[in-house]
Amino acid sequence: MNRQRKILIIEDEQDIARIIKDYISKNGYEATIAGNGKDALLAIELLNPEFIILDIMLPDIDGIELCRQIRENNNVPILILSARGSDTDKVLGLGFGADDYMTKPFSLTELLARIKSNLRRVESMVSAPPKQPDNEDILHFGTVTIDKKGYKVTNEGNEISLSAKELELLFFLSKHRNQVFSKSQLLDAVWGYTAYGDESTITVYIRRIREKLEVDPSNPKYIKTVWGIGYKFSFDE
């Protein structure tokens, strides 16, 4: 029998938290509720959850600030819930390390799909069998080295701090060098869904990667925008 994956629901509205917990519990997950940021940090320390559902509006701390604190020493996938649908919330949430974002009201079926997709990605990263290096395991682009097997990126020998999703997006683009992908194609390839995906997520992640990777993010050397179509990874020797 497969073990239950542990999910922490950080939500102060008890009715919403209970509905989410009941639904995902019926679908085979072990769910715990924390009603505020203080209890959430304690629950993370004690339970070591494998997925976090985080509401932005909490009584004691802003959810985006809590996301930032969690990310300081934990790479657990985080999905932000918000009653505020503004792009500002989305940019801030993803910028501080959230892996996904949904706006209230939301579909429980969609939420479950997001949970499964993110957990599959993490599982594939951890359980991938070792393989012998080949000429695509370590890629060099000028001063930048992309080590797909070691799951890290360096520039001039210094490791660049990227979130799991930022790494996956960069790996995918660099693996298909000079190939143009639309936002929906990138959502499908990296997040594993298109029906529920918000294409503005890709815009946010591309911006974040450029800020960390490029000398001049406004004039990118590696990830190029192909206007009206999408993005490609390109490097001129």
Q: Quick one: which H or E segment has residue 209?
A: helix 200-213
Q: Angle 87-95/200-213 helices, nearest 10 degrees?
A: 40
Could you list the beta-strand ranges (E) of the chain: 5-10, 29-34, 51-55, 78-82, 100-103, 138-141, 144-147, 152-155, 158-159, 223-226, 230-233
Instruction: Give the pLDDT score at 194.
Output: 53
Instruction: Give the pLDDT score at 147.
Output: 84
CA distance 121 to 164: 9
Instruction: Give the pLDDT score at 200.
Output: 80
Let me know if 165 is exposed, middle or buried by CB neighbors in 10 A (0-12, 13-18, 19+).
buried
Instruction: Give the pLDDT score at 50.
Output: 93
CA distance 195 to 183: 13
Instruction: Give the pLDDT score at 103.
Output: 85
CA distance 103 to 82: 5
Instruction: Give the pLDDT score at 92.
Output: 65
CA distance 65 to 45: 17
Sign of CA dihedral 81, 25, 73, 174: negative
Instruction: Give the pLDDT score at 125.
Output: 59
Instruction: Give the pLDDT score at 133.
Output: 45
Let me know if 162 is exposed, middle or buried by CB neighbors in 10 A (0-12, 13-18, 19+).
buried
Instruction: Give the pLDDT score at 206.
Output: 92
**pLDDT means per 10 residues in the chain (237 residues)?**
84 95 95 96 94 93 89 86 71 74 88 88 59 62 83 86 85 90 87 66 89 89 90 82
**Is the whole-model pTM more than 0.75?**
no
Instruction: Give the pLDDT score at 87.
Output: 63
Sign of CA dihedral 108, 113, 116, 119: negative
CB half-sphere exposure, 124, CA atoms < 13 A: 12
